[in-house]
Amino acid sequence: MEIVHLPEPDLIVVRPATLFAFIKVFPFIICAIGFLLLAWRYFPALAILSLLASMIGCYRFFYIRNCIYTITPEVIKITRGIFFKRTDQVELFRVKDYVQTQPFLLQLFGLMDLMLRTTDPVNPVVWLRGIPLSDIVDTIRAHVLETRQHNRIYEVN
């Protein structure tokens, strides 16, 4: 499990699973092996393409693994990047809708994608991809209702 509950109450840190990162990088691995076999058999210069595919795959793997989703009672912080970090924050009272999806491959490994639709102009959709299957949707929903009541925000359709 990649969900970490820190000593501070109501602070949840979630990261995409290692297996999810491997699944996303798998096409690059196949491509690198294919180019390496073609280089060995037919044209040695294709080894450069194999190396390039390997490097892209490694970068993508570490990029996915360095995504950190921090959920507090007030905000969701999404931190991503390897060389240049970027942190987006979305106030929880702006969350309007929750969509939990589990494609077949993620079902096999007990993972899920969570999409949060918000009224935030910069982040209208927040994705938490490849996280372990859990009841995090209920936790976020409880935090959203609590922050709306605390800030006296009422939804008008």
pLDDT tens digits for range 105-120:
999 999 999 999 999 8
- Total domain count, the chain: 1
Percent of all residues in the chain with a pLDDT value above 70, rounded to a whole number = 92
Mean pLDDT of the residues in the chain: 89
The answer to whether residue 147 is domain-embedded is: yes
Task: Calculate mean pLDDT across residues 121-150.
Answer: 91
The answer to whether residue 40 is domain-embedded is: no
The answer to whether residue 113 is domain-embedded is: yes
Of 11, 34, 2, 46, which is closest to residue 139 (Cα–Cα)? 11
Q: According to the model, what pLDDT value does residue 9 have?
A: 67
The answer to whether residue 22 is domain-embedded is: no
d(CA 42, CA 91): 56
Q: According to the model, what pLDDT value does residue 4 have?
A: 58
The answer to whether residue 18 is domain-embedded is: no
Model pLDDT for residues 117-135, shown as the tens digit of each residue: 999 888 899 999 999 999 9
Of 26, 17, 20, which is closest to residue 56 (Cα–Cα)? 26
Tokens found for residue 89? 């924050």
Contact yes or no for 72/90 (Cβ under 8 A): no
d(CA 53, CA 23): 15
pLDDT at 20 over 80: yes
The answer to whether residue 15 is domain-embedded is: no
Task: Calculate mean pLDDT across residues 48-73.
Answer: 94
Give residue 26's Cα distance to chain centre.
Answer: 17
pLDDT at 3 over 90: no
Q: According to the model, what pLDDT value does residue 45 have?
A: 87
d(CA 4, CA 96): 25
The answer to whether residue 12 is domain-embedded is: no
What range defines the domain where residue 145 resides?
73-157
Q: According to the model, what pLDDT value does residue 125 have?
A: 94
Query: b or e along 36-63 (b: 16 or more beta carbons within 10 Å of the residue's beta carbon)?
Result: beebeeeeeebeebbeebbeebeeebeb
pLDDT at 19 over 70: yes
